[in-house]
Amino acid sequence: MFRALKKNPRLIKIIIGLLLGTFCAIIYKVNVDELGEYGIAFVFLISFVFVLLVLQLVKKGALPTKIIIGMVLGIAAGIVFRDQAASLKPIGTIFIRLISLIVVPLVFVSLFLGTASMGDLRKLGRIGGKTLLYYMTTTVIAILIGLVLVNVVQPGKGV
In percent, the amount of the chain with pLDDT more than 90 equals 6
For residue 74, pLDDT beyond 90: no
- DSSP code, position 32: G
Domain extent listing, the chain: 2-80, 88-153
pLDDT in tens, 6-49: 676 676 666 666 666 666 565 555 555 565 555 656 666 666 66
User: Are 57 and 12 a contacting pair, CB within 8 Å?
Assistant: no
Q: Which band of pLDDT confidence, cut at 50, 70 and 90, is reported for residue 140?
A: very high
- DSSP code, position 101: H
